[in-house]
Amino acid sequence: MASPRICSVKSCDNPVSAKGMCVAHYDRMRRRGTTEPSQTPKGEPLRFLTSQVLPFQGDDCLLWPYNRHNRGYGMIWLDGRPQRVTRIVCEDRHGPPPDGAHAAHSCGVPSCCNPKHLRWATVSENQLDRVAHGTHNRGDRHPNHILSEGDAREIKRLRGMEPQKSLAARFGVSKWQISKIQRGVAWSWLTI
C-alpha cells in the first residue's frame, strides 16, 4: 500500500486534498492567491499606531494598513475590545471627546488616520462633512432607495395638485412616504 501524499507546502505534513496541497493551504491559495499566512504579527498594529500614526506630521492622508471596519475605518484591539483608530488618534491630539462627539475627517477618507485630518464633531457636523466629501448615502445613493431624485422632485412639485394616494400608487411607495417628501421631512435637501 502506497503512503498518502503530503502537502507540497514546506513544513506542512497534512495529507493532500487538491492540487498537491492540504485543505487549509489549497483554500488559502484559492482565496488569496498565496499559501502564506495573512495574520499580522502580534503587536504590529499597536507599534504602527504609536511609532508612525501618533507622531505623524505630514499633510497627506495616512491610511491604516491593518484591520478595517466594514465601512473602511481602521480598527485596533486595545483593552480587550476592538476600537476605532480615528477615535484613539483624535483623543491623543485633541483630548477627550465632548459629549456625543465623533471623530470626523476633514479629508473624507474613512481609513485615514492622519492626526491633522481629525477633529471632534457633532453628529450633524459629521453628516454635513459626508455631504461635502460626497461620501453620503442619501437619496439615490442609498442601497435601499425606491425613488430617484427626479421622482422626489416630481412628488414635491405635485403637492396639492394630485392626491397623495394617487402619487403613492404611481411611484410605488406609501402615502406616508409621499407626505414626508411633500412636507420636507424626507429628501429635504431638494428644491423643486
Whether 31 maps to a domain, the answer reads: yes
Whether 3 maps to a domain, the answer reads: no
Residue 70: the pLDDT is: 79
116 in the same domain as 82:
yes
pTM as predicted: 0.62
151 in the same domain as 97:
no
For 92-146, how does the pLDDT look when each residue is reduced to its tens digit (9 = 90+)?
999 999 998 999 999 989 999 999 999 999 988 988 888 888 887 888 888 888 9
Return d(Cα 142, Cα 144) in angstroms, integer: 5
22 in the same domain as 58:
no
User: Which CATH number covers residue 117?
Assistant: 3.90.75
Return d(Cα 79, Cα 95) in angstroms, integer: 19
Q: Which of 46-60, 84-98, 142-156, 159-173 has the lowest mean pLDDT?
A: 142-156
> Is the Cβ–Cβ distance between 121 and 106 less than 8 Å?
no
Domain boundary among 133, 150, 175: 133
For 58-77, how does the pLDDT look when each residue is reduced to its tens digit (9 = 90+)?
999 999 998 888 788 999 99
CA-based nearest residue to 107, from 84, 88, 125, 134: 134
The parent domain of residue 114 ranges over: 44-133
Would strands 118-121 and 102-105 be described as parallel, antiparallel, or unpaired?
A: antiparallel
